[in-house]
Structure 1
Amino acid sequence: MMGRQRSRFMFVAEETAAGITVTPLSPACGAEISGVDLATDLAPAVVEAIRAAWQKYLVLVIRGQDLSLDDQLRFAARFGPLGERKKAPEGLRERTEGIYQTEKHTLLVSNMKVDGKPIGAFGEGDMWFHIDSGYTERPYKYTFLYGMELPSTGGNTLFSNMYMAYDELPQPLKDTIKGRKALHIHEYKRTEKVDTSGDISHSPHWFHPVAVIHPETGRRALFVDRLMTARIEGLEPAESERVLNQLWDHAENPRFVYEHVWKLKDLVMWDNRCLTHGRTWFPPSENRLLRRCTVEGGPLDG
């Protein structure tokens, strides 16, 4: 089924009036932008063309960019106020964030170490689908990730289109989640799901609608993820777990997913309000280093 669907998909490039070219990357989401140098001061028309493509394709890939930290931040700021990095508790900061997290608007994502200490966060192995800062009242609106050092294989980023996931939910499941909220929680000391039956006051957490309305498009999107969504409000624990597993399995269907295979100097940017993302395994003996910045978001309605 999936192969037949992909064989019908046409990767037709479109040149915009602003002079950039937009090429779709998958039937689910994703497009490559070419004809632009992000290290320059982009004309407003170019920024608006990128914004329009972003709203249509949800995740954009811009390859071959020579970006300093200032270049990356300047480009991201064209789309809204820069987000500040969420900090772990002081005693856990070095282990969970790394020793080189000195700029408040950026986060190094890396498995690399200096003198045995990690230089960045989210280091090794695969990573479940998640939403950046989904455990806060105001999740980041956008994320920008820049590829600086990459392993020979793996470490790909998976993006799931949560508009499509919601649209194709079976009606009984839509009825079950209608009007409900889910608890999103981040436990810094753990890599598995946290037990929410006890005291969670020490862990950052927030309740968001299970299906949110995107504030700009008006479309409804699932807003749950396997890594940080812990339970659905108003359901018994066993029922909540059953429904969440159904939602996760459904949302991670390959039909809804674009898998990005990184190249050096890729700048990948996505909308956190209608996508979840995860990571595939990569050899732990090989270096992986990416630089992340974000744009602040706001409360989400259902």
Structure 2
Amino acid sequence: MAISVKKLHPVIGAEVQGVDLSKPVDGETAAAIRRAFEDHVVLVFRDQQLDEPAQLTAAGLFGKVAMRRRPISGDGPGGSFDTPFMLVTNIVEDGKAIGAFGDGEMWFHHDTSYYPEPHRATLLYALKLTSWGGETSFSNLYQAYEMIPQPLRDRLEGRKVLQIHDYKRRERLNLEAVDIAKIRHMEQPIFITHPATGRKALYVSRLMSARIEGLSRAESEEALATLFDISEDPSIIYEHKWRLGDLVIWDNWCSIHARKDFPREEPRLMRRLTIEGQAMRF
């Protein structure tokens, strides 16, 4: 099966053409897709017709599919647990949300950066879309690392940052107002060495990075503000405009993503899987 890979942005994102993921993929094609993933960080597969088993098989090209985890407190986004699938949707049935993170804008973040072993990748499949909005922006954090001023990079090298998520979408967590023991959290390196590529990447996000170890609160906030701005520089961001049948996979170790607003009165339905990862290293 011959595929082609078309860049969507100078530094992040590519469309893979010539593959139908509802059918078996031979070893040579699978290897080419994985190489493209490491090269481009975000891959887009258009016009796919995928039921749940086919999406699971497609995800398996990139590693072991992860199960969805319940929040520590029991409170959190809706939908089913004890399954690998998460429905990202605003659809409500019988007064109950059938999925999670249904409405509105969501700030830049890594998926599962607050886990001891953050997931390698996320796959999102478009089933229902609104008439406008809902674009997903992806930022290349290999490039962000290179853009950090050397004095700041030297100052932060070897430090960790607290990654924490309480299911808010447009608000940083106030550590003084919560008991973090009841919220999933993990201290991670600010700069990681990507386990698959060996490249250095920034590992912070506006939504989930709360505090840098070894710095005062003011120093931490100042440094994080600078890193957030660098990570969200428009020159390193690809904005994906969704079409029905799109399957998009992104590397959670070297990218962050954000969602734009959309009409809340219109149904939007995406089916999500993640790929198991490993501990982050300096």
TM > 0.5 between the two? yes
Residue range with higher mean Cα deviation, 287-296 or 111-120: 111-120
Instruction: Kindly state the Cα deviation for residue 191 of structure 1 after the two structures are TM-superposed.
Output: 5.7
Distance 1:152 1:229, change over 3 A: same
- The answer as to 2:41 corresponding to 1:58 is yes
Could you tell me which residue of structure 1 aligns to residue 160 of structure 2?
181
Q: TM-score, normalised by structure 2?
A: 0.96
Q: Deviating runs (4+, > 6 A) in structure 1?
A: none
**Of residues 204, 210, 216 in structure 2, which corresponds to 1:224?**
204
- The answer as to 2:4 corresponding to 1:33 is no
- The answer as to 2:2 corresponding to 1:19 is yes
Could you tell me which residue of structure 2 aligns to residue 195 of structure 1?
174
Instruction: Kindly state the Cα deviation for residue 82 of structure 1 after the two structures are TM-superposed.
Output: 0.9
Instruction: Kindly state the Cα deviation for residue 84 of structure 1 after the two structures are TM-superposed.
Output: 1.1
The RMSD of aligned alpha carbons is 1.5
**Of residues 230, 234, 237 in structure 2, which corresponds to 1:254?**
234
Instruction: Kindly state the Cα deviation for residue 189 of structure 1 after the two structures are TM-superposed.
Output: 7.0
Report the count of equivalent residues. 281
Q: Structure 2 matches for 1:3-152, cutoff 5 A?
A: 19-89=2-72, 91-93=74-76, 96-98=77-79, 101=80, 104-152=83-131
Q: TM-score, normalised by structure 1?
A: 0.90
Please give the secondary structure, in 1, of the residue aligned with 2:279: coil
Please give the secondary structure, in 2, of the residue aligned with 1:201: helix
The letter for the 2-side match of 1:79 is F
Structure 1 distance, partners of 2:187, 2:258, is 21
Q: Structure 2 matches for 1:266-281, cutoff 5 A?
A: 266-281=246-261
Task: Give ranges in structure 2 of 5+ residues lacking alignment.
Answer: none
Structure 2 distance, partners of 1:189, 1:263, is 26
Could you tell me which residue of structure 2 aligns to residue 5 of structure 1?
none
What is the percentage of aligned positions where both structures have the same residue? 47
The letter for the 1-side match of 2:232 is E
**Of residues 185, 192, 195 in structure 2, which corresponds to 1:205?**
185
Distance 1:267 1:301, change over 3 A: same
Task: Give ranges in structure 1 of 5+ residues lacking alignment.
Answer: 1-17
Distance 1:74 1:160, change over 3 A: same
Instruction: Kindly state the Cα deviation for residue 196 of structure 1 after the two structures are TM-superposed.
Output: 1.9
